[in-house]
Structure formats: structure tokens, C-alpha cells
Amino acid sequence: MPLSYRRSIRVGELIWRTVSEIVRQIRDLNSSFVTILGVKLSNDLLNCKIYYSVLGFQDDKKKVAEILKKNTCEIKHQLALRLNLRRIPVIFFVYDNTNEKAMKVFNILESIENEKK
């Protein structure tokens, strides 16, 4: 494993923990259940995809996406204040619908099992 790859993983984990704290402090998100699931940082440490999920309805998901987009600059600024990095990466928030897909698969499997009975 190249050294830069290991560094991107370590820095990604640090960004993940820090962004989780920052997102909890955003006032507009107080009523929403937002979870930062993970971070994928490029090997050059310049681009960062932050994966999140929202517990709620479609309207809640849209609202959270707008709030995160609106606060991206502030989140990046808070990262710069809290982390000692030469450059703070460009941040992209990506909604992770893995849980929804898993529930659909589970429901399909359950319906198949019920049909067998």
C-alpha cells in the first residue's frame, strides 16, 4: 500500500469524525436525523465525498440536502479551523440510500418466503 493511500484513509477518518460533530451543531438540522456514514477522500487529499443518510420522509431528505449544500462553505471553514491540513479538500455531500435498498430487498425476500407458505 502506498503511503499516500494510507494517509488519505487516516485523514478521511479524521474528516468524518469532525464533520459529524459540525453537522450536529447546525441549527437548521436539529429536527432531522442526519447521520454521516463515511468519507471517501481522494489520494491527493483534494476532493472529499461525504456520505450521509436521513431518517424521515422524502421532504426531510430534500430539506437536509439543501441545508448541507447551503452550509458547505461553513463546514469547510470549520474543518480548516479544527484540522491542521495544508489544504482543506473540496467537499461534496452524497446521499447514501443503501438502507432503503436493503429494506426493499428484505421486503422482496419476505414476500417470496410468504408465497412459498
4 pLDDT more than 70: no
- Three-state SS for the chain is CCHHHHHHHHHHHHHHHHHHHHHHCCHHHCCCEEEEEEEEECCCCCEEEEEEEEECCHHHHHHHHHHHHHCHHHHHHHHHHHCCCCCCCEEEEEECCHHHHHHHHHHHHHHHHHHHC
Question: pLDDT tens for residues 36-74?
Answer: 999 999 988 899 999 999 988 888 889 999 999 999 999
Kindly list the structural domains of the chain, giving each domain's residue range(s) and its CATH number in brackets, ordered by start: 3-116 (3.30.300.20)
pTM value? 0.79
Model confidence at 2, pLDDT cuts 50, 70, 90, reads low
Q: Which residue has the cell 443503501?
A: 98
5 pLDDT more than 70: no
Question: pLDDT tens for residues 82-93?
Answer: 998 889 999 999
